[in-house]
Chains A and B, each alone.
Chain A
Amino acid sequence: MLSTKIIRRLVFFGALFSWIGLSVIDVVILFTTKNALAVNIENFFSRAFLDSFIIFLFIYYHFQVQRYASSNFIDLLWRVFITGLLAIFVSIGLSYFLSIFEGHSFAVNPFVLNIQYHINIGVICALLISSYHVFKRLILYQKTISLLRLWNVFEYTLLASVLLNFWDLEFTEPFSLSVFFFLTVMSIILSVNMKWVAYLNFNQKLKSILLLTLSGVYLYYFINLVLVRVNLEASITLLQSNVTIIALFTFVSVYVVFSILVLLFNLPTSSVFEQKLGDVLRFKDLSQTFHSEQKDEFVFDVLLNSSMSAVLADAGWLEITEKGKELLLHYEISGSDIAAIKTNIDTSKDKKSSIFRRRKIYSLNKGAYKSVLVCPINIQGVAAGDLVLLKEVKDGFNKDMLEIIETFTAQAVISIENARLMEEAITTERYKEELKIAQKVSESLLPDRLIEHESYEITSFSQAADEVGGDYYDTFRIDDENIALVIADVSGKGTSAAFNMSQVKGVFHSLVPFGLDPIDFIVRANETLGRILEKNNFVTLSYFIVNTQEKSVRFVRAGHCPTLYYSKEEDRTFYFKNKGLGLGVIRKKEYLPFVQEIECVYQSGDIMVVYTDGITEATNPEGDEFGYDRLQHCLTRFKDLSALDIQDAIIREVYHFCDTNPLKDDYTMMVIKFK
């Protein structure tokens, strides 16, 4: 495929060649006629060259105008004007050049005149065809299918009309006349399409009128030159008998005249269109304020400004009361005047006390402002305030204006709501990040590994219901013989429980190195935690000291789930039901009477299971709890397994029991099997 650039050039040379051909042939014909030579050159060639010249020019300008696809209307008209200026410059320049030789035979030489005439033909054709293409763009602006069809009929008929010349049909022939008549009617019908005019502002319209008027002047000049004042003797090719050229002339003239008239009549209404365009632009401003992280006040400021200029209000204010904060923006009006207008409206015949918070246009009799427009502002469905616009003239607002203001307000509110949602989303995201960190910290509060000893196996398991949990377990070697174990559950769950859990860990680690008796340990722990816990919070805890030398366990239960025990000797499982009270429950009274220390001697094969209530209170979809009996039964079943296997088996049973139910609470378990 050839590029359009190459085609344009080829077509240009085609046009140039045709024009030269036309001129040469005409001169030759003239010469042979003058000298009565018997060389018979058909006028046919002359006509053919003219037609091909017109066609080539037509195609050339078709591409040429396409190149200016992005130019605006004024630029297009400017091109017509410049082409005309060049054409007229060439034409007048030539006439002037010949007038220098006034009286000289050169000036009346038919050959010279013939060449002048041909140059004129060239520039006129160029002017007409370029104007034709520009006007085509204008007519087809915002085209419809029917308009396009109509245009195609016109264009093809126009192009086909070159054949009339080709077959040497005179303009005056009935057929030619009817074709011309048809094209004229079409020109008039098509020239009604002036949509582009509406898109010009006042200044652009003035410019267009000027450019078109000047183009009209050129046209008149050329009509005179070519169609009226023609030296017949010097011309072989006569444009006034060419239907195509005359139809083009007609079309261009009609469109120029129509455009000028339409532009003139549209001048007074330009301001309205400019106003509407302004509305759209302001609307865009309102939508874009969202992107620029502006505060609400800025959005409201844009809203008030846009609204005022959209309806040409003389003054206005905007009042927002939200979350106890008040915002008042006002233009061209003072605070005291606002109050005056408010009372004025209240006492006007529109009675009702809740004047504001509803859209309405009021007329006032008193005061400087006679018209008032009120548009309520609702943010997230809640009435937040009003936008009030004022005009000095009576009946200055209408329904359309109210609608525009409502649209503006809605857009502003959307901007604000979006910004808030975005802010919320960001905050939520940040909280999530924080929670992730909390989760890591919370997990790190639990021990990596437990104190191991040759006389027992020990395993642990802990799972939080939320990101962070309130269960705690740990071990500590007090001395060679004594190892402390602890399991604790902080009341509540989630973040607050996790914070308290870290306190429990602190208390444990500060008390445990003293090697206190278990009972002393929890009395101290109760004292400390009673001071630092919030009034609604408590901690349940079981504290054990395993003496590997004596093979004994001493322990206390501070309100914690009873310890499950398997005795190898008796071959039975049971719960230790010693007295206990949660830490922090009693803070002033003596704690000691409420707790009881137990000591038991263990044997190889004995198993101790400590856990938190998450295990016993785990519920299945039917709402039943896992409970103490099931737990006890589990241990009975799995007693022969290793500590780790017992733990895994119990956890599996619990999960199996819960089925699809999610975790309600944190659960933790420690299994100690003595060797």
Chain B
Amino acid sequence: MLEISTKKQEGIYHIIITGEVDASSSIELDKQISMALDKGENKLLINCTGLSYISSAGLGVFMSYVEPMEAEDLKMVIYGLSPKVYNTFEILGLHQVLTIKQTEEEAKGYLNEV
């Protein structure tokens, strides 16, 4: 089961992911991120505190935004990964290309860097 909620605070667009991201629910995640980009958001904060599992398809979603966002100078930061979930990011090597922070403050700090 996957629940995604969004909110906008202080110029930062929050995407809060709760539950599991598998092959079918990854489509929903993809929709939410691309919707935010379509709205012209340039600071994306992905809250993964409630994310308990992510499949390769889910990782594929994050991965697919890495280069397009870099090209357009958009910022996306992920925070609150559980050690287990972080491990899946790490094995794939995504921690090298995605910005992953531990706490919300660090994440916001990164987004607000000039």
Give the interface of A toward B (CB within 8 A).
Answer: 489, 491-494, 535-538, 540, 558-562, 579-582, 584-589, 594-595, 613, 625, 665
Contact = CB atoms under 8 A, between A and B. Distances in A.
Interface of B: 23, 26, 30, 55-57, 59-61, 63-64, 66-67, 71, 84, 88, 91-94, 96-97
A585 B93 contact: yes
A493 B84 contact: no
A535 B55 CA distance: 16
B84 A559 contact: no
A489 B88 CA distance: 14
Contacts of A579: 93, 96
B92 A582 contact: yes
B67 A587 contact: yes
A594 B63 contact: no
A494, A537, A562, A595 interface centre (most CB from chain B within 10 Å) = A537
Contacts of A584: 63
A298 B97 CA distance: 61
Contacts of B94: 559, 581-582, 585
25 contacts: A489-B56, A491-B56, A492-B60, A493-B23, A536-B26, A536-B61, A538-B59, A538-B60, A540-B91, A579-B93, A580-B91, A580-B93, A581-B92, A581-B94, A582-B59, A582-B92, A582-B94, A585-B63, A585-B92, A585-B93, A586-B67, A587-B67, A588-B67, A594-B93, A613-B56
Contacts of B64: 535-536
Nearest to A558: B93
A605 B81 CA distance: 39
A538 B67 CA distance: 14
Contacts of A537: 60
B97 A594 contact: yes
Given A535-B64, A537-B60, A613-B56, A582 B84 contact: no
Contacts of B88: 613
Contacts of A625: 84
Given A586-B67, A587-B67, A536 B93 contact: no
Contacts, number: 77
Given A559-B91, A665-B55, 20 more contacts: A491-B59, A493-B56, A535-B64, A538-B56, A540-B56, A558-B93, A559-B94, A560-B91, A580-B93, A581-B92, A582-B63, A582-B92, A582-B94, A585-B66, A585-B92, A585-B93, A585-B97, A586-B97, A587-B67, A588-B67
Contacts of B67: 586-589
Nearest to B60: A536
A582 B55 CA distance: 14
B84 A581 contact: no
B30 A536 contact: yes
B97 A581 contact: yes
Contacts of B66: 585-586
B60 A559 contact: no
Contacts of B91: 540, 559-562, 580, 613
A122 to B, nearest CB: 92
A388 to B, nearest CB: 43
A581 B93 contact: yes
Nearest to A493: B23
B30 A559 contact: no
A594 B98 CA distance: 12
Nearest to A492: B57
Nearest to A535: B64
A585 B61 CA distance: 10
Given A491-B60, A492-B60, A588-B67, A559 B97 contact: no
B63 A538 contact: yes
A352 to B, nearest CB: 39
Nearest to A581: B93
A494 B71 CA distance: 32
B81 to A, nearest CB: 16
Nearest to B71: A588
